[in-house]
Amino acid sequence: MRSSESLHTTLARLIAFPTVSDRPTDEIVAYLARRAEDRGMRVEVIPSGPDKANLVVRAGPDGTDGLTLSGHLDVVPTAGQAWSSDPFVMSERDGRLFGRGTCDMKGFVAAVVTALEAIDVSALKRELALVWTHDEEVGCCGSALLVERFLREGRRLPRQALIGEPTSQQPKRMHPGHSTFAVRLQGRAAHSSRPSLGLSAIKLAREALGAIEVLEEELRGERAHEDLLEAPYTVVNVGEISGGSAVNIVPEHCLLRLGMRALPGQSAAELLTRLQATLAPLAARAATEGGSVQAELLREAPALLCPDGTPLLSDLEALGDGGAPGAVPFATDGGNLARLGLDCVICGPGSIDLAHRPDESIGIDELHAGVDLLTRLIRRRCM
């Protein structure tokens, strides 16, 4: 089978697994495990819970510092989007391949599998590791669980790590994190004809939103990494609000969910402390009226800052177009994997501008260029 046929067939097969984050990953993990075993690689399926697992594949001498390649197997939902074709059946039009995950980021996974067909993995002199994760799209959950396990067990991966998110093959060494917070507002229910007997949680939420806007403005003034980031500050987004139960009841509960994109060196715990301090006056007043305002951290995907001049950046510069490494505005599994001491560089085929949208696609030429770069990179670092 020619590599182009293998590449398209592999990507079509990966797209056919509808791995939206709330669905199982066992079938796609089993498929990739079989493909790796067919190449003579060492396969480890690491369960995280019911129907969820990370997959770690290795070849070459154990413990030698070659290369780690990593990508996530989950995709975002398609419900409510106006697709021109079935998002889980790959189609080809005008030199592009369409389907959910073609760009973000099953295209990269298919490119890695195809690149390995051109390499005799039994001849590797340094270790190559593939790390395929679950639930990246809902907070890098799979990589967080994998890293916690590896830290507990004292396990290692090759330090130079490529995270194949779509960057149009341009190396990126930095990204903000993304942490999810909940603000829970408790009021007192009452008949809506007697509002003075109750305390509206939705009115508390209105005031909480004003306080969060003040914090957002403070954070916008605390700028860093202006040479790399388009938004060189902690970005805040209140993304969800829910509350109340009926129009004739003073609402007793309201929930806000917000995201904050921390900069490198800034922790979610620090942001939670500032959020709680911002809401403290409102919380104190609500408490005097029998209510409460509480903020909590739900999930953290850490920021990433790879040291400038790391060997992998030099390799990519030598193999690519020589562009200076920059940053991406979105979080990746690299923030978690860096906790294992890995130097993570973000680089992969496709454009993030097409990710998460209806008719997500990747150029066929881009995909083949990705296979070529990966083949040369593996040979350079591991042979």
Which backbone phi and psi does 142 adopt, to 5 degrees? -65, -45
104, 135, 136, 300: which is the annotated catalytic residue?
Answer: 136
- Determine whether 136 is an active site residue: yes
Residues annotated catalytic, as ranges: 74, 136
